Structure 1
Amino acid sequence: MCFFKNYAATLRLFCFLLLGIMPLASTLLSSCREKDPPARKVVFKAREVEIADTIKYPNALITSLHRKNRWVDSVFRRLSPDERIAQLMIVEAFSNKGPEHEEDVIHLIKKYKVGGLIFFQGGPVRQAKLTNKFQAASKVPLLISMDAESGIGMRMDSAVQYPLPMLLGAINNDSLIYRMGAEIALEFKRLGMHLNFAPVVDINNNPANPIIGYRAFGENKTDVASKSLAYMLGMQSEGIIATAKHFPGHGDTNVDSHYDLPVIPYGRDRLDSLELYPFREIIKAGVGGIMVAHMHLPKLDSTSNLPSTLSRPIVTDLLKKELKFGGLVVTDAMVMKGLTKFFKPGEAEVRALLAGNDVLERLVSVPKAIAAIKLAIRRKRLSQLDIDRRCKKILAAKYWVGLNKYRPIVLDSLYANLTTSRAYETNRRLAEGSLTMLHNQRHIIPLPRKKRVKYAVLAVGASRPTFFQKKLGEFVLVENFVLPRRSDKKARLALRRKLKKYKQVVIGLYGPSIRPSNTLLLAKEELDLVNELLDQKKCLVVLFDNAYTLTKINEIRKADGLIVGYQQLLPVQEAAAKLVAGRISANGKLPVTVNEYFKYGDGL
Structure 2
Amino acid sequence: MRKKAIVAFSLMWALQLTLLAQQRDAFIPFINSRHAWVDSVFSTLSDRDKVAQLFMVRAHSDLGQQYIDSVAGVIQREQLGGIVLFQGGPVRHAQVINRYQRLSKVPLLVAFDGEWGLGMRLADSTISFPYQMALGAVQNEALIYQMGLEVARDFRRLGLNINFAPVVDINNNPRNPVINFRSFGEDKQNVTRKGLAYMRGMMDGGLVTTLKHFPGHGDTDVDSHYDLPRLNFTAGRLDSLEMYPFRELIKAGASGVMIAHMNIPSLDKTPNLPSSLSQHIVTNVLKKRLGFQGLTFTDAMDMNGVVKHFQNGEADVRAIIAGNDVLELSKNSDRAIKLVLQAIKQGRLAQQDIDVRVKKILATKYWLGLDKYRAVNLSNLYRDINRAQTEALSQRLADASVTLLGSDSLIRTMDYTKRTAIISVGLTQISEFQDMLGWRFDNHMYYVLSPQATADDVSAVANELSTYSQVIVALHDDRVRPRSTLSYNGTVRLFINELANMNSVFCLFGNPYSLAGLPGIEQAKTMLVGYQNDDIMQRAVAKVILRRLTPTGRLPVTINSFFHRGDGK
TM range (shorter): over 0.9
Matched with 1:369 is 336
From 111, 132, 148, give the equivalent of 1:145.
111
Report 1:67-78 matches (<5 A): 67-78=33-44
- Give the Å deviation of 1:27: 5.9
SS state at 1:227 partner: helix
TM-score of the two chains, using structure 1 as the length reference:
0.90
User: How far, CA to CA, are the matches of 1:336 and 1:508 in structure 2?
Assistant: 37
**Range with greater deviation from structure 2 (478-487 or 464-473):** 478-487
1:103 is aligned to 2:69: yes
1:59 is aligned to 2:19: no
- Give the Å deviation of 1:252: 1.1
SS state at 2:507 partner: strand
Report 1:6-405 matches (<5 A): 45-47=13-15, 59-156=25-122, 157-405=124-372
- Give the Å deviation of 1:423: 0.3
Query: In the superposition, relative to structure 1, how do residues 376 and 45 fare at CA in structure 2: closer, same or farther (>3 Å)?
Result: same
1:571 is aligned to 2:539: no
- Give the Å deviation of 1:447: 5.5
Any unmatched runs of 5+ in structure 1? 1-25, 30-42
Please give the per-residue CA displacement for 1:84-142, whole angstroms capped at 9, x wherever unaligned.
11111011111110112112211110000011111111111111111111111111111
Does structure 2 retain, via aligned residues, the 8 Å contact 1:350–1:369? yes
Residue identity opposite 2:366 in structure 1: Y
- Give the Å deviation of 1:564: 0.6
User: How far, CA to CA, are the matches of 2:402 and 2:458 in structure 1?
Assistant: 30
- Give the Å deviation of 1:581: 1.2
- Give the Å deviation of 1:167: 0.3
- Give the Å deviation of 1:174: 0.4
SS state at 1:291 partner: strand
TM-score of the two chains, using structure 2 as the length reference:
0.95
Please give the per-residue CA displacement for 1:151-209, whole angstroms capped at 9, x wherever unaligned.
01110121000011110000110000000011001000010000000000111111121
Report 1:442-591 matches (<5 A): 443-446=409-412, 448-451=414-417, 453-477=418-442, 478-535=444-501, 537-591=502-556
Does structure 2 retain, via aligned residues, the 8 Å contact 1:346–1:370? no
Please give the per-residue CA displacement for 1:299-318, whole angstroms capped at 9, x wherever unaligned.
11100100000001110001
Query: In the superposition, relative to structure 1, how do residues 447 and 568 fare at CA in structure 2: closer, same or farther (>3 Å)?
Result: farther
SS state at 1:296 partner: coil
User: How far, CA to CA, are the matches of 2:419 and 2:47 in structure 1?
Assistant: 74
Residue identity opposite 1:147 in structure 2: D
Please give the per-residue CA displacement for 1:326-385, whole angstroms capped at 9, x wherever unaligned.
000000100111111100132111100111000000110111101111110110111222
Does structure 1 retain, via aligned residues, the 8 Å contact 2:144–2:197? yes
How many pairs are equivalent? 561
Please give the per-residue CA displacement for 1:509-528, whole angstroms capped at 9, x wherever unaligned.
11141321111101111111
Query: In the superposition, relative to structure 1, how do residues 28 and 459 fare at CA in structure 2: closer, same or farther (>3 Å)?
Result: closer
Any unmatched runs of 5+ in structure 2? 1-6
User: How far, CA to CA, are the matches of 1:51 and 1:186 in structure 2?
Assistant: 19
Does structure 2 retain, via aligned residues, the 8 Å contact 1:541–1:562? yes
**Range with greater deviation from structure 2 (186-195 or 203-212):** 203-212
User: How far, CA to CA, are the matches of 2:89 and 2:416 in structure 1?
Assistant: 46
- Give the Å deviation of 1:496: 2.3
CA RMSD of aligned residues (A): 1.8
User: How far, CA to CA, are the matches of 1:432 and 1:163 in structure 2?
Assistant: 10
- Give the Å deviation of 1:577: 0.4
- Give the Å deviation of 1:557: 1.3
1:602 is aligned to 2:564: no
SS state at 2:464 partner: helix
User: How far, CA to CA, are the matches of 2:22 and 2:83 in structure 1?
Assistant: 33
Matched with 2:4 is none
Does structure 2 retain, via aligned residues, the 8 Å contact 1:203–1:251? yes
Residue identity opposite 1:558 in structure 2: Q
User: How far, CA to CA, are the matches of 2:188 and 2:295 in structure 1?
Assistant: 23
Does structure 2 retain, via aligned residues, the 8 Å contact 1:346–1:373? no
- Give the Å deviation of 1:265: 1.2
User: How far, CA to CA, are the matches of 2:179 and 2:463 in structure 1?
Assistant: 41
Please give the per-residue CA displacement for 1:527-577, whole angstroms capped at 9, x wherever unaligned.
112222223x22111001111001121111121210111112211111100
Displaced runs of 4 or more, over 3 A: 26-29, 48-52, 55-58
User: How far, CA to CA, are the matches of 1:160 and 1:508 in structure 2?
Assistant: 24
SS state at 2:169 partner: coil
User: How far, CA to CA, are the matches of 2:412 and 2:540 in structure 1?
Assistant: 13
SS state at 2:210 partner: strand
Query: In the superposition, relative to structure 1, how do residues 555 and 117 fare at CA in structure 2: closer, same or farther (>3 Å)?
Result: same
